[in-house]
Amino acid sequence: MNMKKLSAWLLSAMVLFSLCSCGNEPATSGERDSVVIAIGSEPETLDPTKGWGHGNSPIVQSTLVKYTANLTFENDLATSYELSEDALTWTFTIRDDVTFTDGEKLTASDVAFTLETAKAARGSVDLTYMESAVAQDDTTVVVTLSKPTSIFLNTLASVGIVPQHAYCEDYGMHPIGSGPYKFVEWKAQEQIIFTANEDYYGGVPAIKNVTVVFMSEDAALAAVLAGEVDVAYSSATLGTTEVPGYHVKAITSADNRGFTLPLLPDEGRTTGSGAPIGNDVTCNIEIRQAIAYAIDRQQVADIVLNGFARPAYSENDGMPWNNPEVAIKTDAEYARKLLADAGWADSDGDGIVERDGLRAEINCIYPSGDSVRQAVAMAAAEQVKEVGIQINVEGVSWDEITKRMFSEAVMMGWGSAIPNETYYLYRSEGALLDDFYNPEGYMSDVTDGYLKAAMEALTVKEANENWQKAQWDGSTGTAMRGECPWVWIVNLDHVTYVRDGLSIGEQPIHGHGHGLPLIQNLHEWRWVE
């Protein structure tokens, strides 16, 4: 099946039933202070200390600092902050005019409590390098680190402050905060309802009532076609469907898709949970690099993903900490040479190379129902077969992926507008844990040295130089021209259907998140027609 036929087949398969309603005029929206938003994934919690808002604004809670659309920081709860000369002590002065939505005043004690609670939770908010957070008075909190940490502000920008007086075990299901929106109701696997915080110090949002519904990408498109939602996070495979009364916004993102490839051989080892480790094909660097060079990323972006994507060469393309030397050109002949020079040959004439009786054939798994990952994996597999490597694409559950990702290729997705991700993806101590970071088992003392230097840098320039060297220092690194634990393929545009007349503001660069990054600037949305 050629690339155009593949794309057409995937699109028709996903939306055939939806197109039956194309003749219906979209329903008019309700009150002009309300929106209904369809997104693809339900959060596990609304507790920032356990990951809510990670990499994004938590909207129910306020943060000490926040990101601007151009990736700089500005104060939120903090009015100012100072850093000691040794870069270990941060002193924050916070606003004195902020209350939680239950009427209680927010003080520095709440900030200290939040950070200490997040550290103890040891979840997606990494504060292991924080020694203590102490409130000196109602408006001053002092945070002491065990070592200089260049990503500290990045972390703070997504840690919403929780109320010490009202925090409990089920806080994440019934949160109280001081952000632009108040929590109203959560029906699991259905929807979450928010309402504007009328006492928000940053100004009352124009959109007063917000309903976030959780829908698969095909169901979301059907809801758009029926006029039942105002905004729907869709996908590149579905974004060409024209719907009267709506327009499509292709939002730039750092959200990427690519193969993770196990670096270790199969020696019978298992993870702590018993998942098998290692793959005798992908443990060979020439296999990994041949896959990387065989893929025509621009073709995948243009044809399979309808132009709603760009070629990807790393986890942080286009960011200030990205090394531009990680980019590679599609070169099938070079891929074949890599294999031939390492002794791989097609001895039986079936088009797939072998060596010492081992066939260059691997499985690539992806989460069932994800049309983008399926399309990218199938397209890449078709291209890679041309150089003699067989990739069998299979959709499975996430539970199944957690059992197989240490021994098989996975069409994985990452991407963040903060540098923290590079550290977690490639540090040796994170390899082969029962976690989605580094299931390929990448371990390198050289890379660890650069990551440590980047984390402990005292200036942004110094940090960025070391992040870049971790990718490629001229002889080794995480890049595809280096050790190639990842084969990066595309950076996605976040395809979003928006009802005409609704402005969703200046969207910051989206990270990975299946729709949650869309609402991080919800307080800027408004009806304009």
> Phi and psi at residue 209, in whole multiples of 5°?
-125, 130
- Please count the other Cβ atoms lying within 10 Å of the Cβ belonging to residue 188: 9
pLDDT, tens digit, 9 for 90 and up, residues 392-407: 999 999 999 999 999 9
Looking only at the bridges linking them, the beta strands covering 73-75 and 89-94 are: unpaired
Q: Pick from 211, 241, 295: which is nearest to 21 by CA? A: 241
Q: Helices (DSSP H) in 122-183: which residue ranges?
A: 152-156
Residue linked to tokens 């006029």: 227
Specify the residue for token string 């000490």. 64
Q: How far apart are CA 381 and CA 379, in angstroms?
A: 5
CA 244 to chain centroid, in Å, comes to 31
Residue 21's pLDDT is what? 37
Phi-psi bin for 393: left (phi > 0), alpha (psi -120 to 50), beta?
A: beta
- C-beta separation of 262 from 287 below 8 A: no
The SS3 of residue 201 is coil
Check residue 19 and give its pLDDT: 36
Q: Could you tell me whether strands 256-260 and 73-75 are parallel, antiparallel, or unpaired per DSSP bridges?
A: unpaired
pLDDT of residue 47: 93
pLDDT number for residue 28: 41
The pLDDT of residue 31: 61
Secondary structure class of 190 (helix, strand, coil):
coil
Q: Which DSSP category does 16 fall into? A: T
- Taking CA atoms, 169 is separated from 39, 57, 116, 191, in Å, by 27, 22, 15, 21
Contact 109, 135 (CB under 8 A): yes
Of 230, 192, 247, which is closest to residue 52 (Cα–Cα)?
Answer: 192
Please answer whether residues 376 and 472 qualify as being in contact, where contact means their C-beta atoms are separated by less than 8 angstroms. no
What integer pLDDT is reported at residue 235 of this predicted model?
86
Q: Which amino acid is at 304?
A: V
Q: What is the pLDDT along the chain (529 residues), one digit of tens a residue?
A: 444 444 443 333 333 333 333 333 433 444 689 999 999 888 888 999 988 876 667 899 999 998 776 777 899 999 999 999 999 999 999 999 999 999 999 999 999 999 999 999 887 788 989 999 999 999 999 999 999 998 899 889 889 999 999 999 999 999 999 999 999 999 999 999 999 999 999 999 999 999 999 998 889 999 999 999 999 998 888 889 999 999 999 988 888 999 999 999 999 999 999 999 999 999 999 999 999 999 999 999 999 999 999 999 999 998 889 999 999 999 999 999 999 999 999 999 999 999 999 999 999 999 998 888 999 999 999 999 999 999 999 999 999 999 999 999 999 998 877 888 899 899 999 898 888 889 999 999 999 999 999 999 988 899 999 999 999 999 999 999 999 999 999 999 989 999 999 999 988 777 776 557 888 889 999 999 7
